[in-house]
A = this chain, B = another copy of it.
């Protein structure tokens, strides 16, 4: 499985993805699920993927291969909306090819994949999209400032409690995201370290856009895991026991 989160806040955008893939418990591997498309001072686009690895790799390979070909590509489309259309179209193209039952057995395999696509293209504000396996997509709003794909449930409560479009700053969002990953990794073997993370401040177009990799040896992540676990435990112990059960 996989766990990816992306947020669009007033302060900017955050993207994070784990790196574990599995086809059964005896076929676990490490793959990057974060891909960057960048023109200095002009556009910053981040793509996260979850789902069938053959599908997601093919979609990313085609998107990259077409950067130097004629026609619309990730570096020349006029808006992030058009980039989302392009990813959706490429996804449908790959699934139609691989799942083509007329020319080979699909053997019940799920060829589906989900993508999170966000960033900023000069001339418009930061935007964030969730592209579904069917190729259609939704856009994040101020009411719903984050999307998750993959094993999303374990790490959702902490984000729901902490993240708000207007007030959450990017370093705080990064802290919340790493705690969300910690909860997920503890409860689900199919999500694993390291974590790739990108923070993009709104309207900055920093150079170079850089993905940070947070591994088991990250002192900050270790500190966060320890502090969070101990803090939770302390809050838990400080709360009263339920009163209707006399021992």
Contacts and interface: CB of A to CB of B under 8 A. Distances in A.
A220 interface: yes
A172 interface: yes
A220 B238 contact: no
Given A231-B235, A236-B176, A245 B199 contact: yes
Interface of A: 151, 153-154, 156-158, 160-162, 169-172, 174-176, 178-179, 183-184, 186-188, 199, 212, 220, 223-224, 227-229, 231-236, 238-245, 247
Contact of A239 (B212, B227, B236, B244): B227
Given A157-B183, A186-B157, A243-B220, A236 B171 contact: no
A172 B153 CA distance: 24
A231 to B, nearest CB: 3
Contact of A223 (B169, B179, B235, B240): B240
Q: How many copies does the complex hold?
A: 2
A15 to B, nearest CB: 13
Contacts of A169: 247
Contact of A171 (B179, B183, B229, B241): B241
A244 B197 CA distance: 11
Nearest to A226: B239
Interface centre among A175, A232, A238 (most CB of B within 10 A): A232
A156 B187 contact: yes
B187 A153 contact: yes
Nearest to A153: B153
